[in-house]
Amino acid sequence: MLRKVVDNTAGQHLDPDADLISSLQAGESAALETLMERHLTTIYNLAYYMVGDQMSAEDISQTVFLKTWQNISDWKPGQAKLITWMRRVATNACLDYLRKKKPVYTDKVPELVDGADTPFEALSRQDQAMRVKTALKSLPERQRGAVTLSYYQGLSQREGAAVMDISEGAYESLLVRGRKTLKRLLETERIA
């Protein structure tokens, strides 16, 4: 069943997907395609940064859209934005995946494509990204979720707390601990 997420900003900002909800509820596949065009990259990136695996991130993304499609008939606009609920589903799916799956380590690092960089700059940036990715994987799951939502999804504390279904204070605490742990891990690696 589709749960409503409490989003205190709902009264201040209209849901950007409000135009699709009735079409989704009517079972129009074109509306699902539009929803995917709008949010697939966001959901995939959230999953990828949390689980660190491309194929698993793709599976989680498909699961989010499938759950949205299957449960949209229960959706009642007004309490939260649809994307907030979708991010919560994605975050919970990632946390479930991380609890069930042992990490698979790989030497394959996503390429950074930037025509302005010199080969040395690209290699340096790739090395830094790998270090951050490795350190991010070392964080406890909920801290990793908060850091991912904040830095890779660009959510405000209010939005991140709503996605994780915790208070803003608890979300801020997770972010502070996550940043401190990341900093310590990255500094320790630099010394070694």
Fold observed for domain 18-191: Butyryl-CoA Dehydrogenase, subunit A; domain 3 (1.20.140)
Helix, strand or coil for residue 4?
coil
Instruction: Tell me the pLDDT tens digit for each residue of 5-59.
Output: 444 444 445 888 888 888 888 889 899 999 999 999 999 999 999 998 899 999 9
Q: Is the whole-model pTM more than 0.75?
A: no
Instruction: Tell me the pLDDT tens digit for each residue of 71-80.
Output: 888 877 777 8
According to the model, what pLDDT value does residue 127 have?
78
DSSP secondary structure of 5-65: PP-TTTTTS--TTHHHHHHHHTT-HHHHHHHHHHHHHHHHHHHHHHH--HHHHHHHHHHHH
Would you list the domain boundaries of the chain? 18-191
